[in-house]
Amino acid sequence: MTVTAEILRRTPLHALHLELGAKLVPFAGYEMPVQYPAGILKEHLHTRGRAGLFDVSHMGQAFLSGADPAAALETLTPADLAGLGAGRQRYGLLLNDRGGIKDDFMTTRLSGESALYLVVNAACKESDFSYIAEKLAGQATLAPALERALLALQGPAAEAVLERHAPGISALKFMDAVRAKVAGAPAIISRTGYTGEDGFEISLEAADAERVARALLGEDEVMPIGLGARDSLRLEAGLCLYGHDMDESTDPVEADLTWSIGKRRRLEKGFPAAGAILDKIAQGPAKKRVGIRPEGRAPAREGTEIAVDGRVIGRVTSGGFGPSVNGPVAMGYVETAHAAIGTRLDLMVRGQALPAAVAPLPFVPHRYKR
């Protein structure tokens, strides 16, 4: 039997990644840089200390238009999108009919525009777009923006760097978004990211992506950063990775994401499985996502069983070494009775019970510009 190798897609920055010496790996159907010659540890710490540039062009971008696209999309998410102000962005959860999380995504209402700008996760974008288009047929029209690239500039020096190439951009606050030019290229810029640091995401036409990336990388503060450091940065920031820390078997309450359910939405309902989700908020979930700090230096990887007094009460969903805290960090689900900060846990690693404790999230304080 002949096995056909997966044909991986490439982002508009593929040639630049090769030029920069990136180690490329398959990820969400793309050939993506996991690290550059500096290595994951240095890339992680450089982002925390100065600024890192990430290629996230594999993410799914789209525009949702119609008579009232926010009202239409609210039938699929508990986020308050009708209340989203002009020039603002909001985090939301895309739910299935049972209230399980199909994906998490960002919605932006650009000033003076009726369509909503959406960004969804790379691994889910085809299924997300099909689901949204099918569910909202007759109410709104989804137009995937497959021709667009997406860069993330993250770190404490991100503002100063981007201001040189997009004058006035420093006026944006966390979760603000605007159309502007970066190094002369038209872009959608949002003050957001997934590292816990201050920073920006920059959506561009594919033809402009390499030129803009080179301009930003030409600044002394900026290094190229791969997916390896992106993962360790978001884990330290206590941010969920879809398909690991949440999926369709997980609801917003269990995932500790009830803050993403708007106050108006709780009163009016109108989102999938609203009654069941609101009941679970009131009564409490049987399991809950928590932060975990293993003792010692051994990391607890995804899938590690979590036990108390010899009984398995959950499992790790994300885990690894946290360079900024100089030690192992993890997130996982445990029975709610064992979810209190400081609760002692055992992590079952290769048949050994390694001590750990429930820890507050995030492991590293967020440094967004409010």
| Whether residues 190 and 317 fall in one domain | no
- Per-residue confidence at 350, pLDDT binned at 50, 70, 90? confident
Q: Are residues 216 and 326 in the same domain?
A: no
One domain for residues 249 and 299: no
221, 299: one domain = no
Q: Tell me: do 176 and 294 sit in the same domain.
A: no
pLDDT of residue 5: 61
**pLDDT for residue 3 is more than 80:** no
Write down the pLDDT at residue 302.
97
Total structural domains within the chain: 2
Query: Is a pLDDT exceeding 80 seen at residue 6?
Result: no
| pLDDT tens digits, one per residue of 74-101 | 999 999 999 999 999 999 999 999 999 9
Which domain-ending residue is among 242, 264, 283? 283
Q: Confidence band (pLDDT; 50, 70, 90) for 140?
A: very high
Instruction: Supply the pLDDT for residue 2.
Output: 45
In contact, 194 and 237? CB cutoff 8 Å: yes
Q: Which domain holds residue 299?
A: 286-370
Domain boundary among 283, 305, 330: 283
The 10s digit of each residue's pLDDT in 150-182 is 999 999 999 999 999 999 999 999 999 999 999
279 and 369 both lie in a single domain: no
Q: Do 306 and 193 share a structural domain?
A: no
Portion of the chain with pLDDT greater than 70, in percent: 99
Measure Cα distances from 47 to 53, 153, 175, 233, 311 in Å: 8, 9, 19, 9, 39
CATH number at residue 358: 2.40.30.110
Residues 277 and 346 placed together within one structural domain of the fold: no
Question: What value does the mean pLDDT take over residues 312-339?
Answer: 98
Domain endpoint, select from 283, 304, 338: 283
Asked whether residue 256 falls in the same domain as residue 131, the answer is yes
Decide: 298 and 356 in contact? Cβ < 8 Å: no
* Mean predicted confidence (pLDDT) in 50-57: 98
